[in-house]
C-alpha cells in the first residue's frame, strides 16, 4: 500500500511537471556554482540533474568557480591570499594558481559530464562540452587605492560562439578567466561571468548554487520570491546575509533588471535541489524577478485549456456552474486570467448588461495553493476596472452558493433575484438557489 501511495505521488508530481517541461524546451539556462561543488564531490550528483535538463531540450551554460582550489594551491606554495570587499587581489603568483585551478576544475567537470554508466541516471547520456575564449576581460584597476592587479571584470561575452555551440546540442562551460585583446589573462569572479553571460545571451534563467537555503527574512524564514526592487532593499539594509548570498544576490538583481526573467538562488547541499526549484511551484530557494510573478491580462483562446483545468474541480463540487469547452471558447473574450509561469492560476469573467447599467461577475476562481496571497482581490480589482471602462456601468452583481462572506467583505450587499436584469432573471436557476449580491462601483 505504501509503495502504491509512493507511485501515486510520483505520478502526480510528474503530471504537475508537464507545463514546465513544455515551457523549458529550447530555453537557455545559465547555472553557476562555486569550486566547492567540485571539491566536495557533489558535482557528480549534479550531473544527473544537468543530464535531465539536457534531455528535456534545455540549452545549458555552466559557470564554475575555483576559490577553494586557488586557496589550496596558494597554501601549498606558502602564499597568502588577499581580498578586498570579497574580491581576490590577484598578483602574478595568484594568477598562476588561478590558471592551474581552472585547468584542474574544468577537467573534473568534463570527466563527470562524460559518464555514461549502465543502470545509472547517466546511462545513454551523450553530453558534449564546449569551452574556449568566450569571455573578453578588462582589468578592475585601482579602486579606493587598492590595485587589483590581474583581477578583472567581463568586458564582452562572445554570444555568437556560445549560441553556435548550444545550437549544436553542446553544454557550454565558462571558467572564471578572461582574456584581453592585448593577450593578458585576468582572474574573474564566477558571479560576474555568470551574470554577464546570462544578460548577453538573453537567458531565460540564471541559477546560482549557494551554500545556504536562499534569502531569509529577519525571522529566518525563506523568501521564495522577490522582485529585483525588494531584493535590492534587502541587500542594502540586511546585516546578516551569508557570504555567498551577499556575493550572488547582486548578480541575480542585475540579471533580472536586464532582461533575464528569473534568477534563482538554490541550496547546493540539497540533492536534486535544481530539479525541485525548476519543476515544482513551491521551489526550494529564492527566485528574483524584475516584476511580480503573477500577471493579469485579457484571456485568449490559448487559455481555454488552463481555465478548464482550473474550474472543473470547482464545477464538480457545485461551487461553479458547469461550462463546456465550446461555451468557454465562445465567451473567452469575457474572461480575465491570472497567469504564473505561463500557467493559469486564476480567472474571472465579466458579462455586461449595458441597458441596465450593470455587469455580472462570474467564474471567479484561484488555484487552491495560491488562495492566501490576495490574488482573488487582484482579479476583483481588475474586473472592476474593466467594468468602469465599458461605459456607464454603475453596479456589479454576483451569484454565489459558497462564497457569500468573501464578497460581503469586499463591499457587496445582499440583494434579490428581482434586482437582477430581466434577462438574467429569466435564466436564474432556482434549483441552485444562488444568493445574489450587488456592489455599487
CATH number at residue 223: 3.40.1160.10
> Are 279 and 411 part of one and the same domain?
no
Whole-number pLDDT of residue 124: 53
**205 in Cβ contact with 261 (< 8 Å):** yes
Q: Please tell me the distance from the alpha carbon of residue 138 to that of residue 188, in angstroms, as a whole number.
A: 10
Query: Last residue of a domain, which of 229, 258, 289?
Result: 289
> Are 175 and 261 part of one and the same domain?
yes
Q: 315-333: per-residue pLDDT in tens?
A: 998 889 999 999 999 999 9
> Are 237 and 304 part of one and the same domain?
no
Percent helix / strand / coil, the chain, rounded to 5: 40, 25, 35
> Are 232 and 307 part of one and the same domain?
no
Cell numbers 575555483 correspond to 66
Query: Last residue of a domain, which of 289, 307, 337?
Result: 289
Whole-number pLDDT of residue 119: 46
Q: Please tell me the distance from the alpha carbon of residue 283 to that of residue 71, in angstroms, as a whole number.
A: 33
Phi, psi of 308 (to 5 degrees): -60, -45
Cell numbers 581552472 correspond to 102
Residue 279 grid coordinates: 519543476
How many domains would you assign to the chain?
A: 2
Count of CB atoms situated within 10 Å of the CB of 333:
11
Residue 354 grid coordinates: 449595458
> Are 387 and 244 part of one and the same domain?
no
> Are 272 and 345 part of one and the same domain?
no
> Are 273 and 345 part of one and the same domain?
no
> Are 43 and 141 part of one and the same domain?
yes
> Are 273 and 314 part of one and the same domain?
no
Q: 62-96: per-residue pLDDT in tens?
A: 999 999 999 999 999 999 999 988 889 999 999 99
Instruction: Return the CATH number at 321.
Output: 3.40.630.30
Whole-number pLDDT of residue 7: 75
Residue 327 is part of which domain span?
295-440
* Residue ranges of the chain whose pLDDT lies below 50: 1, 117-120
Amino acid at each position: 500500500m505504501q509503495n502504491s501511495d509512493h507511485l501515486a505521488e510520483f505520478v502526480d508530481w510528474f503530471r504537475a511537471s508537464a507545463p514546465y517541461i513544455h515551457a523549458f524546451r529550447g530555453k537557455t539556462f545559465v547555472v553557476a556554482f562555486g569550486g566547492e561543488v567540485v571539491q566536495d564531490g557533489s558535482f557528480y550528483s549534479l550531473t544527473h540533474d544537468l543530464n535531465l535538463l539536457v534531455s528535456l531540450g534545455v540549452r545549458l551554460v555552466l559557470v564554475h568557480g575555483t576559490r577553494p582550489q586557488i586557496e589550496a594551491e596558494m597554501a601549498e606554495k606558502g602564499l597568502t591570499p588577499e581580498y578586498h570587499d570579497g574580491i581576490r587581489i590577484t598578483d602574478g603568483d595568484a594568477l598562476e594558481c588561478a590558471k592551474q585551478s581552472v585547468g584542474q576544475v574544468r577537467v573534473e567537470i568534463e570527466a563527470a559530464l562524460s559518464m555514461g554508466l549502465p543502470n545509472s541516471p547517466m546511462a545513454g547520456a551523450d553530453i558534449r562540452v564546449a569551452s574556449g575564449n568566450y569571455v573578453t576581460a578588462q582589468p578592475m584597476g585601482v579602486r579606493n587605492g587598492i590595485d587589483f592587479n590581474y583581477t578583472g571584470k567581463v568586458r564582452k561575452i562572445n554570444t555568437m560562439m556560445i549560441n553556435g555551440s548550444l545550437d549544436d546540442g553542446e553544454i557550454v562551460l565558462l571558467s572564471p578567466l578572461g582574456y584581453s585583446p592585448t593577450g593578458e589573462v585576468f582572474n574573474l569572479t564566477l558571479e560576474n561571468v555568470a551574470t554577464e553571460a546570462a544578460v548577453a545571451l538573453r537567458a531565460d534563467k540564471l541559477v546560482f548554487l549557494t551554500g545556504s537555503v536562499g534569502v531569509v527574512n529577519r525571522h529566518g524564514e525563506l523568501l521564495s520570491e522577490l522582485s529585483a526592487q525588494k531584493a535590492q532593499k534587502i541587500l542594502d539594509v540586511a546585516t546578516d546575509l551569508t557570504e555567498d548570498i551577499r556575493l550572488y544576490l547582486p548578480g541575480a538583481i542585475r540579471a533580472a533588471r536586464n532582461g533575464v526573467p528569473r534568477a534563482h538562488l538554490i541550496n547546493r547541499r540539497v540533492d536534486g535541489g535544481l530539479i525541485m526549484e525548476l519543476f515544482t511551484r513551491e521551489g526550494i530557494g529564492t527566485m528574483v524577478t524584475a516584476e511580480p510573478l503573477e500577471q493579469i491580462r485579457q484571456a485568449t483562446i490559448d487559455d481555454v485549456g488552463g481555465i478548464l483545468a482550473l474550474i472543473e474541480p470547482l464545477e464538480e463540487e457545485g461551487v461553479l456552474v458547469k461550462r463546456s469547452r465550446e461555451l468557454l471558447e465562445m465567451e473567452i473574450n469575457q474572461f480575465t486570467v491570472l497567469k504564473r509561469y505561463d500557467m493559469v492560476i486564476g480567472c474571472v469573467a465579466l458579462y455586461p448588461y449595458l441597458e441596465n447599467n450593470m455587469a455580472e461577475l462570474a467564474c471567479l476562481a484561484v488555484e487552491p495553493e495560491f488562495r492566501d496571497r490576495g490574488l482573488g482581490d487582484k482579479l476583483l480589482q481588475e474586473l472592476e476596472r474593466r467594468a468602469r471602462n465599458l461605459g456607464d456601468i454603475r453596479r456589479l452583481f454576483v451569484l454565489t452558493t459558497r462564497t457569500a462572506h468573501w464578497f460581503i467583505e469586499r463591499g457587496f450587499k445582499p440583494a434579490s433575484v428581482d434586482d437582477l436584469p430581466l434577462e438574467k432573471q429569466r435564466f436564474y436557476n432556482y434549483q441552485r438557489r444562488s444568493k445574489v449580491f450587488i456592489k455599487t462601483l
